[in-house]
Structure 1
């Protein structure tokens, strides 16, 4: 498979979000309970089902009868807890992330991250794990007015001249973004993935090391000018 760029999702693809998701979400809803704005258990399972959508949409679903002001307050607190837990080392990359992206980078591929996560959250992960050693750019859905990942990927492709890239992600939004932009859709059968969504991908992987097989040394698009 010849490509000139690989675009990665972050949550559930590179970063094991579940390591910090539950404790951060629990903290956010405990704050609501203390303020008598929520009764009952934290809707962790419901959040798992909608992983991959932008956070503003998350709170509309999890807090359907609450005001925008409450949702914004919860969002800010949740984000703060996520960033703090990342900085405390409570999260983790998926196995073989560094081996896989090192392999791709050695082939002079452009590597990007396109995520529904907010900029400060993404920056915390990239900084803590020093992903900027390999990644050419990190992009948040907040950079696109439509909040559609397809449009975010289109922006990346236009800006960097991507002609034959691949998207690696775990949810349907990643697969649709690949299809909408004429890219290869690689679905990751990881924590938040859903089998019926993965079936729409061009390729399904169970470990990021499989990218070394999909993109072996020398099997990339040569974007250098022809020699005279």
Structure 2
């Protein structure tokens, strides 16, 4: 049986693997990126397996490319950053990418309860802002915080900055990776771990106070 918890002043959400089904936008852009890298002579051989980038979601971009193409030059990695963002933006314009089931409805219900809503993502600023706007949930959020915009070195720092800027005393951190759990715990927040994306590795969600199998389950705990 679920234990209800006091309603927090705010909820902070990771984006990829929590609100947004990232692979529905990412994978077409990923393949297009490597096609162009090969054309530019910056990468040789087959496109690295999709599992490498899916397993790296939630990391900072520099760490993603170290994992996906460890032998590649810095020039290739920087170009990959730009190309991946470009192809994802193009995909959003064409209507690619979907939210997880129940995300829009649940966010509206939380907003209606008076809970302040924020995004805290390790992604690029343009990516985070465009995804949220393109999927029609932008007006529900008080702030969109990304490592790309604030140049934070970890999600712990990003969440700390968000809490201090908005003078938030009680909040939940909602996410699907160990970086989300760590960011919540180290900032004294209740951590709700999303156990439905499938990008995580074993043991990543240890320490979370709540585990949900679908996004709308959040409402059960309030």
Common topology (TM > 0.5): yes
Contact 1:4 1:164 in 2 (8 A): yes
Partner of 2:215: 208
1:125-144: CA deviations, max 9, x gaps?
A: 12112222211100111244
Partner of 1:22: 27
Counterpart selection for 1:100 from 99, 106, 127: 106
CA distance in 2, matches of 1:147, 1:206: 29
CA distance in 2, matches of 1:195, 1:67: 31
Q: After the TM superposition, which parts of structure 1 deviate over 4 Å for at least 4 consecutive aligned residues?
A: none
Contact 1:141 1:149 in 2 (8 A): yes
Contact 1:25 1:42 in 2 (8 A): no
Partner of 1:194: 201
CA distance in 2, matches of 1:145, 1:138: 14
Where in structure 2 are the equivalents of 1:10-159 lying within 5 Å? 10-36=15-41, 37-159=43-165
Larger mean CA deviation between 4-13 and 47-56 belongs to 47-56
CA distance in 1, matches of 2:207, 2:33: 34
TM-score when scaled to structure 1?
Answer: 0.89
Larger mean CA deviation between 37-46 and 15-24 belongs to 37-46
Larger mean CA deviation between 31-40 and 93-102 belongs to 31-40
SS in 2 for 1:197: coil
CA distance in 2, matches of 1:38, 1:46: 17
CA distance in 2, matches of 1:170, 1:66: 28
Superposition deviation, residue 195 in structure 1: 4.2
State the superposition RMSD in angstroms: 1.4
| Runs of at least 5 residues in structure 1 that lack an aligned partner in the other structure | 216-228
Superposition deviation, residue 33 in structure 1: 2.7
Contact 1:6 1:165 in 2 (8 A): yes
How many residue pairs were aligned?
215
TM-score when scaled to structure 2?
Answer: 0.92
SS in 2 for 1:166: strand
SS in 2 for 1:6: strand
